[in-house]
Structure 1
Amino acid sequence: MTRRALPLIKYRQYILGGNEIDYRAKLGNRVKFAHPSGVIIGAGVIIEDEVTIFQQTTFGSHGHKDEPKSYPIIKQGAIIYSGAKIIGGLTVHENAVIGANSVVLTDVPKNSNAVGIPAK
């Protein structure tokens, strides 16, 4: 996705669905917002191609004051179900599935499911 288009997309998503996508986030091709409302994507987040994101999900940094900010990387084909929170410098690998309302704080292996608080 071109960087010039991100501010326009961010504005449109914020107005229409209450979404907030930072212009510094990197979104791949064919990222699908299945129910586009309440999605928050922070500055350093990388979301690769063909990822599916459901409503009320958050992708962001950990917020520790004494540590540099670090953001998640979501690899190709992952599915993030509603209400999931993906926090910090972790990787959700290819084709992983994050369950609804899960809180992800560590890497999620390729082709696996992660559910719960914290997600396992």
Structure 2
Amino acid sequence: MLTNKLRGAYKRLLLQPLRLLCSCDVPLKYWFSSVVFPHPVGIVINPGTRFGRNVWVFQNVTIGNTPKLKREYGRVGCVIEDNVIIYAGAVIIGSVKIGRDSFIGGNAVITEDIPEGTKQYNEHRRVNDD
């Protein structure tokens, strides 16, 4: 069993090349999960984020919050449900929930919860397939 010191060194050994080569700040637990990174460049993900199955995250996406938002909303991080696609340059800020089967368009800035089955292109343009 690894001690905390060895575990930290092991994580740094695996993550440091990713940070240097891809400019990614993605916790190790997401690299070997059902999250898909087709173009893993410039991605930043808060360690408190929870992902469902079959989530695609493209380049230059930021997903996160701060401890202050944790106190305000009561959630540790964002919740991204099953079958969500987050396209290049999207920013998801705060402890928001992205509903299953949703689509976040390129360069969208998300600051509030997104209902299930929604295509969100930016803060002012939302399309529901009803």
Question: Share of identical aligned residues, percent?
Answer: 27
| Residues 44-94 of structure 1 deviation map (CA, whole Å, 9 limit, x = unaligned) | 1112221000000000105758x4584211111100000000011110111
Is the contact made by 1:59 and 1:85 (CA closer than 8 Å) also made in structure 2? Answer: yes
Is the contact made by 1:105 and 1:118 (CA closer than 8 Å) also made in structure 2? Answer: no
How many Å separate the matches in 2 of 1:87 and 1:70? 12
Work out which of the residue numbers 50, 55, 58 in structure 2 matches 1:51: 55
The residue that corresponds to 1:10 in the other structure is: 15
Give ranges in structure 1 of 5+ residues lacking alignment: none
Query: RMSD in angstroms over aligned alpha carbons?
Result: 2.7
Q: Is 2:37 the counterpart of 1:33?
A: yes
Give ranges in structure 2 of 5+ residues lacking alignment: 1-6
How many Å separate the matches in 2 of 1:86 and 1:35? 18
> How big is the shift at 1:9?
5.0
Higher helix share: 2
Is the contact made by 1:93 and 1:111 (CA closer than 8 Å) also made in structure 2? Answer: yes
How many Å separate the matches in 1 of 2:77 and 2:16? 22
The residue that corresponds to 1:96 in the other structure is: 102
Between the two proteins, the alignment pairs up a number of residues equal to: 114
**TM-score normalised by structure 1 residue count:** 0.78
Q: Residue 114 of structure 1: SS of its match in structure 2?
A: strand
Residues 103-118 of structure 1 correspond to what in structure 2 (within 5 A)?
A: 103-117=109-123
User: Between Structure 1 and Structure 2, whose CA radius of gyration is higher?
Assistant: 2
How many Å separate the matches in 2 of 1:77 and 1:11? 29
> How big is the shift at 1:119?
6.3
